[in-house]
Amino acid sequence: QKEVEQNSGPLSVPEGAIASLNCTYSDRGSQSFFWYRQYSGKSPELIMSIYSNGDKEDGRFTAQLNKASQYVSLLIRDSQPSDSATYLCAGGQNTDKLIFGTGTRLQVFP
């Protein structure tokens, strides 16, 4: 059974702090990894993709991938209350289906 594991949270951070979200995966064949943000009652919105080991930065977001440890993370700098949502980690074999974690709920308080 291919799995993606996330801590369900909630992760509570003060406004302006760094939020760190983590994810592990079991399928060593997975090559593509994604972070989606999902607000309550809405559909998942893609915020980051990462395919190679190391860091990838986009604005306030940094994704990190370590294939040897089967570990993916997302850092959100200068967290804002509008970042409060559930963050879904997903992995797949490139053009194939995505396997999602259950999501980590992030709460950013003023």
Partner 1 sequence: GAGVSQSPRYKVAKRGQDVALRCDPISGHVSLFWYQQALGQGPEFLTYFQNEAQLDKSGLPSDRFFAERPEGSVSTLKIQRTQQEDSAVYLCASSLVILAGGPYEQYFGPGTRLTVT
Chain residues that interact with partner 1, rule: CB under 8 A: 4, 32, 34, 36, 42-46, 49, 51, 88, 90, 92, 94-103
How far apart are CB 109 and partner 1 at their closest, in Å? Answer: 22
Q: How far is the CB of 43 from partner 1 (least distance, A)?
A: 5
Minimum CB distance to partner 1 smaller for 58 or for 78: 58
Closest contact distance (angstroms) between CB of 9 and partner 1 is: 12
Q: Specify the residue, 18 or 26, whose C-beta has the smaller distance to partner 1.
A: 26
Burial of 63 (C-beta count, 10 Å sphere; 0-12/13-18/19+): buried
Please provide residue 83's backbone torsions phi and psi, each rounded to the nearest 5 degrees: -80, -10
- Give the integer Cα–Cα distance in Å for 25 and 13: 25
Q: Which tokens in the block code for residue 56?
A: 């990838």
| Structural contact between residues 87 and 35, judged by C-beta atoms closer than 8 angstroms | yes
Shortest distance, CB of residue 56 to partner 1, whole angstroms?
Answer: 12
- For partner 1, the closer of residues 17 and 31 by Cβ is 31
- Cβ atoms of residues 1 and 98 within 8 Å: no
